[in-house]
Structure 1
Amino acid sequence: MKCVAISNKGLEQFNIILKDWIPKNASIALACEDSYIHYSPSVEHMHLTIGDKIHPDSVAARVMQTRMKTDLVIDSSIFGQPYFVMGYPIYLDQKEAALIIIFPSSYTPEKKETYKFLTGKQEDMWTPVPVEEITHIESLQKRTWFYANNEQFKTNFTLKELESKLPEFFIRIHRSYILNIYFIKNITKDITTNFIIQLKNGIELPVSQSYINDLRRVLEF
């Protein structure tokens, strides 16, 4: 069954959710399968119409492919001028779809300040460790530990908190692990075809099925 245009009732639900946080002159689009099934443009965005095919380099295409929240500054080759766009994976009538917010050209997204170091605890001693030296971070027994220079440190942050504040060379590979991609030695498969990452210090970490696509996308393999 193909995607159909969303009902007025459905549109009202989206508007209630979105009106509190997006600028009034932002545009809203809904994409399903390979085309846009709804478009509510502002006066600034008149470049899409219902039925248009999804551009392969667009946020909509990335959301449909990865099923992950995606934000990107789109260059002028797609919309005629640069725009900041955010996309969210959703479902419409049990079919995978994408909710796209196109911000006005005057909108500038806040830059994320990433951690430059983590302060870890060992017994009664605290040590600031540059993030570049951290090989991986682990959630174990309801506590979070990070590893650097063959030492283990405890931190009060959760993996979820760290995931959004670490530099882009850190990637979540498992509900229990975040790793620094610069310390990867190789990636192999075990006898059950699950991916295993071996770090340069010899430590092996599993990759869970839910994070494989993220790993492939970042490392391009």
Structure 2
Amino acid sequence: MENTLVPEVLQMIGEVVPEGVSVAISDGSKYLYYQPSSNIDLKIVPGDQVPIGSATHRALNEMGKVGHHVESRVFGVPYYGLSLPLVHKGQVMGCITAIYPLQTMPLAASEPRLSFLIGKGEDGWLPLPLNEIVYISSNDGKTMLHTASASFANKYSMAELELLLPMDRFVRCHRSYFVNMESIGFIHPHFHSTFLLEMKDKQKTRVPVSQTYASSFRQLLGF
């Protein structure tokens, strides 16, 4: 990105970045600048290549402003990116991206959320209100919904659920688990600054919080 374009980039910041979100600036292929916030840190280092699937990557390729939910597989945590490419004389020179935790993403970007999920049991299918689901697990590509007393299969992948579940109720704490925050009974410290969540089901299941999600989990719950 040419130095003469820096003032133009700084002017663009005010259009897309409110306080409390992270900011990333890239040229056409790699990050040039990154400022994390207290809410979310993707651990971007200037010089890192822009990964496929990121909000920045989409905006660079589409040559237009993009609001995009990004799965945790890209940077380790899910986020909502609002990206604005800088196009100069018909060429994409770079991009600026505002990075929001999903629970604080712009209201205009909100999508309809599910109020229930369908669970498949031995005899058929059962609509399960979200408040009855204690946690969700995945094993060998099979998603299971766990209530206080039973478990049911569900068709959605964990990546799909990451975009569909309301983030004010469900939090992803591990690549294989979502938990209903209102169904956490106790938080146990575990190895290497991780945690085990004791859930309010009949078995008092302990769900792990992995290192990838530990920091954002603590920020979300405030401890």
Which residue pairs with 2:45 in the alignment?
91
Contact 1:90 1:99 in 2 (8 A): no
Separation (CA, whole Å) in 1 of partners of 2:109 and 2:190: 42
1:129-208 correspondence runs (5 A): 129-167=128-166, 168-190=168-190, 193-201=193-201, 202-208=204-210
1:209 aligns with 2:211: yes
CA contact (8 A) 1:136 1:178 kept: yes
Structure number with higher helix proportion:
2
Identity of aligned residues (%): 28
Match of 2:9 in 1: 39
Change (3 A) 1:64 1:193: closer
Deviations 1:61-111 (A, max 9, x none): 78444224xxxxxxxxxxxxxxxxxxxx743235xxx94359xxxx97243
CA distance in 2, matches of 1:135, 1:64: 31
| TM-score, normalised relative to structure 2 | 0.58
Alpha-carbon distance in 1 for matches of 2:14, 2:184: 43
Report the TM-score, using the length of structure 1 for normalisation. 0.59
> Alpha-carbon deviations, 1:136-183, whole Å to 9, x = none?
000012200011131111011001111111112100000100000001
Equivalent-residue separation in structure 2 for 1:154 and 1:120 (angstroms) = 5
Distance (whole Å) between structure 1 residues aligned to residue 154 and residue 176 of structure 2 = 14
Name the CA distance, whole Å, in 2 between partners of 1:191 and 1:170: 23
1:45 Cα deviation from its structure 2 partner? 4.9
Distance in 1 separating the partners of 2:121 and 2:111:
29
Structure showing greater Rg:
1
In the alignment of these two chains, the number of paired residues is 155
**Pairwise mapping of residues 9-158 of structure 1 onto structure 2 (< 5 A)?**
39-41=9-11, 45=14, 57-60=19-22, 63-65=36-38, 66-68=40-42, 90-93=44-47, 99-101=96-98, 109-158=108-157
Aligned mates of 1:127, 1:175 — CA distance in 2: 25
Question: Matched residues in 1 for 2:152 and 2:45: separation?
Answer: 41
Contact 1:138/1:146 (8 A) holds in 2: yes
CA RMSD of the aligned region, Å?
3.6
Distance 2:179 2:14 in 1: 40
Which residue of the partner structure matches residue 4 of structure 1? Answer: none
Task: Give the 3 Å change call, closer, same or farther, for CA 120–67 of structure 1 in structure 2.
Answer: same
Q: Structure 2: which 5+ residue stretches go unaligned? A: 24-34, 49-94, 100-105
Find the counterpart in structure 2 of residue 19 from structure 1: none
8 A contact 2:193–2:211 mirrored in 1: no
Structure 1 runs (4+) deviating above 4 angstroms are none
SS of the aligned residue for 1:109 comes to: helix
Q: What is aligned with 1:78?
A: none
Structure-1 separation of matches of 2:216 and 2:14? 31
Compute the displacement of 1:198 (Å): 0.6
Q: Which 5+ residue runs of structure 1 have no aligned equivalent?
A: 1-6, 12-28, 30-36, 49-54, 69-88
